[in-house]
Amino acid sequence: MKKLPIGITTFSEIIEKDYLYIDKTQIAHDLIKNYKKVSAK
């Protein structure tokens, strides 16, 4: 099992030291694309 990159701030270090990396780009894109502002009642 890969280690979690807790406290690691550089992508190169995550890759070089074989830490777990999860690309959430698509999730972020979907949230931004489908965001609807809900007004408070």
Q: What is the pLDDT of residues 1-41, one digit of tens each?
A: 999 999 998 999 999 999 999 899 999 999 889 887 777 76
Q: pTM value?
A: 0.54
Q: What DSSP line would sit under 1-40, residue for residue?
A: -PPP-TT---HHHHHHTT------HHHHHHHHHT------
Domains of the chain: which residue ranges?
1-41
